Amino acid sequence: MRLQLDQRVVMNHYRAGDLLRIPGLGPCKLRWSRKPLGVPKMVTLRRDAAGRYWVSMAIEEALPAPPASSQTVGIDLGTHHLAVLSTGEALDNPRHGNRYAERLHRLQRRLARQCPGSHRGAVTKQRIARLHARIADCRREHLHCLTTRRIRDNQTICLEDLHKRGMSASARGTPDRPGKRVRQKAGLNRSLLDAAFGAFARQLEYKAAWYGRTLIKVDRFYPSSKTCSACGLRRDELRLDVRHWRCPKCGAEHDRDHNAACNIEREGLRQLQHPEDTGEVRAFGGEGACPVAVSARIAQAPSLGREPG
C-alpha cells in the first residue's frame, strides 16, 4: 500500500507536534527516526507486510564530511566471522536468523495446523510477518553500524567481489545427477543468506560515494586464501577445512581469513595504482579519493607494514 501525502500537511504536523490525519486511516501518531532539516520534495506513506506504516521523505541535505583519513583496509567475508579485516580485527556474526529460529518454527507449525482462510490463521500470519520484519531490522541495523564505521575510519576499502547467488545455490542437483550432502548445503545457504553479504557490499558502495571514499572490488577468482601474504607464494590447493597453515617457503604462520584479508588489500591497492590492469575488478569512489596516499601505502613493504600471520 502506497499513498502520496501533501508535504505541507506533514511539515505542519511535524512543527506542531500533534497527530497526523491520513485519509482513510484517521489520526496517526508520528514517531520520528530522524527529524528532517529541510523541506521534503516528496512524501510517501507505505505499509509493509508486518502492518507497520512508514512515512518516507525525499529531502536535499548537505552530508557532513567525515574526518580525513589515509588508512586502507582489506575485508574478507565469511560465516564464522562476518568479516575479518587486514588489521587483524574480526567482526562477529550475530546470526539473527538462528536467534529467532525456534520462535519462527513454532509459529509456522501453528499455522500449518490451522484452517486456511480462518481468522486465527490470519493472526498467525501477521505474527510471522512481524517476526520476519524484526529479524530484517536487526540485520539491517547491525550492517549499518559496521559499514559506517569502516567508511569513517578508512579512505580506501578493498572487498572481494563474491558471487552471492552461486554461493547460496542448492545442491539438490537433477533426477539424473542427484546432488550430495543436500541438507548440509541447505544449512550453509541459510547461514550465507543470514549474513547478507550483498547488503554489506551495497551499503559500502553508496556510503563510499556519499563521503568521498574509495571502494575497490577484487576479482572473485583471485586466490586470496592460497597466497602467502608474507612472501607471495601461491599454493596449488587449500581445502576449506584448513583454517591455519604454514608457508613452506618462508615458514610464516597464517590464519586463513586474516591472510585472505591482507592479500585482498594488497591486490586492491595494486589495481588502484594500475587501473589499466583491473580485469574484472570494479572500483567505486568519490571525488575525495587520495591516490597519492595510497601509492605511499603500497611502497612501504611487501607485507604492508604488518607482521606476517
* Catalytic (active-site) positions: 76, 160, 257
Nearest residue to 162 (alpha-carbon basis) of 208, 221, 215, 209: 221
Q: How many CA atoms lie within 13 A of 10 on its CB side?
A: 23
Give the Cα separation of 123 and 183 in Å (integer): 31
Report the distance separating Cα 294 and Cα 259, nearest Å.
Answer: 20
Q: Is 26 exposed, middle or buried (0-12, 13-18, 19+ CB in 10 A)?
A: exposed
Q: Helices (H) and strands (E) in the chain — how many of each?
A: 9, 13
- Residues 292, 137: Cα–Cα separation, whole Å: 39
Q: Please state the φ and ψ torsions of residue 55, each to the nearest 5 degrees.
A: -105, 110
Give the burial class of 166: count Cβ atoms within 10 A of its Cβ; 0-12 exposed, 13-18 middle, 19 or more buried: exposed
Q: Which of 143, 71, 109, 12 is nearest to 294 (CA)?
A: 71
Residues ≥6 apart with Cβ < 8 Å to 218: 158, 159, 160, 161, 224, 264, 267, 268, 271, 281
CA distance 118 to 121: 5
Q: Are the C-beta atoms of 9 and 23 separated by less than 8 Å?
A: no
Nearest to 205 by CA among 286, 268, 90: 286
Cα 245 from Cα 235, distance rounded (Å): 11
- Phi, psi values for residue 106, rounded to 5°: -65, -40
